[in-house]
Structure 1
Amino acid sequence: MNPTSTRAISTPHIADWRTRGACLTRDPEFWFPKGSTSPGSIQAAEAKAICRTCPVAITCAAWAIEKRLQHGIYGGLDAPQRRSIARKETRRDLTHSGIVAEVRAAWASDERDPLVETYLSHSVQDIDGHVWWRGRKTSYPVAGRDLTPGQIAYELKHKRAASGHVTVTCDRFGCVAAEHLADGIDRWQRDHATAA
């Protein structure tokens, strides 16, 4: 939530809801995590957890969806989650109560995402942007599937399961920073782009 915004609010709730936000005690940059690797993911998860204890979280989320805000955490939702709800709103003409239901469903989905939990509990980011996996196992059970650390990181970043073997594209063997991983499709596209 951005409490310093002067834009008009058209949600049918508390007129000055922004003055009641749980975010007011934090640095505004906290609500804008950088990157999708371990520190950014952890910061986003922490921000969402604080939002979900906020007395005006639903109003904040609905406001951010309505305003089509493209960055940051608002009402416990990140930008992709808000875009998803906004698309549903456009397609189905959701009422305010429909938006509230979608926000609550997104919250519940976050709390149960086993990929996020596994990645956050087993990875650590180095100061140079590489991410290392803590643990010696070669695969981990996630929602009924056995996945390698690279597959877990890849799926989190690309929102799809990896096709074929996941390989490291940086010079650090064992790095699981999602930005430093490629699957079979990525390698095929890279090879064909180079050949063209």
Structure 2
Amino acid sequence: MKPLTASTPLCATVDPELWFPSDTDIVGITEAKTLCRQCRSKEACLEQALSPAGRIVEGIAGGLTKDERQELIRSRGLGLAQRYSVGRLPAKSKRHAATTV
């Protein structure tokens, strides 16, 4: 086991089960998110959790729940193309957008 340092993420210092509360365990979710938000690695963790190569699907990561991360992915426009690392899909034309509304 690597020695703990100032740069060690908080998640490495607690029971891993803490990061996987059930969807209805509000106390567990709050506890995990509170620790996550105090961590110096929070931003890097969130970016890894959102990246196609390092996608973290379940549990709390980067201070967000699975559903919150999915919403962030949608709001960033990270659709299937980025999720599967095949590049951005071309933007729809105005004509196509008008016919699908």
Deviation at 1:71, TM superposition (A): 0.6
Cα distance in structure 2, aligned partners of 1:91 and 1:23: 26
The answer for unaligned runs of 5 or more in structure 1 is: 1-18, 93-196
What is residue 98 of structure 2 aligned with on the other side?
none
What is residue 51 of structure 1 aligned with on the other side?
36
| Matching residue within 24, 43, 47 for 1:62 | 47
What is residue 138 of structure 1 aligned with on the other side?
none
TM-score (norm 2): 0.63
Equivalent position SS for 1:59 = helix
Cα distance in structure 1, aligned partners of 2:55 and 2:68: 11
Deviation at 1:89, TM superposition (A): 2.1
Do the aligned partners of residues 54 and 91 (structure 1) sit closer, same or farther apart at CA in structure 2, a change above 3 Å counting?
closer
Equivalent position SS for 2:62 = coil
Aligned amino acid, residue 20 of structure 1: T
Structure number with bigger Rg: 1
The answer for unaligned runs of 5 or more in structure 2 is: 1-6, 80-101
Do the aligned partners of residues 72 and 91 (structure 1) sit closer, same or farther apart at CA in structure 2, a change above 3 Å counting?
closer
- Check the 8 A contact 1:68/1:86 in 2, yes or no: no
What is residue 89 of structure 2 aligned with on the other side?
none
TM-score (norm 1): 0.34
Cα distance in structure 1, aligned partners of 2:29 and 2:17: 11
- Check the 8 A contact 1:68/1:83 in 2, yes or no: no
Deviation at 1:62, TM superposition (A): 1.2
What is residue 22 of structure 1 aligned with on the other side?
10
What is residue 99 of structure 2 aligned with on the other side?
none
Relative contact order (alpha carbons < 8 A, sep ≥ 6): 1 or 2 greater?
A: 2
Cα distance in structure 1, aligned partners of 2:31 and 2:60: 10
Deviations 1:142-196 (A, max 9, x none): xxxxxxxxxxxxxxxxxxxxxxxxxxxxxxxxxxxxxxxxxxxxxxxxxxxxxxx
Deviation at 1:91, TM superposition (A): 5.7
Aligned amino acid, residue 54 of structure 1: C
| Matching residue within 70, 76, 82 for 1:89 | 76
Query: Does residue 65 of structure 2 align to residue 78 of structure 1?
Result: yes
- Check the 8 A contact 1:65/1:82 in 2, yes or no: yes
Equivalent position SS for 1:24 = helix
Identity %: 34
Deviation at 1:24, TM superposition (A): 1.2
Cα distance in structure 2, aligned partners of 1:88 and 1:49: 23
Q: RMSD of the TM alignment (CA)? A: 1.9
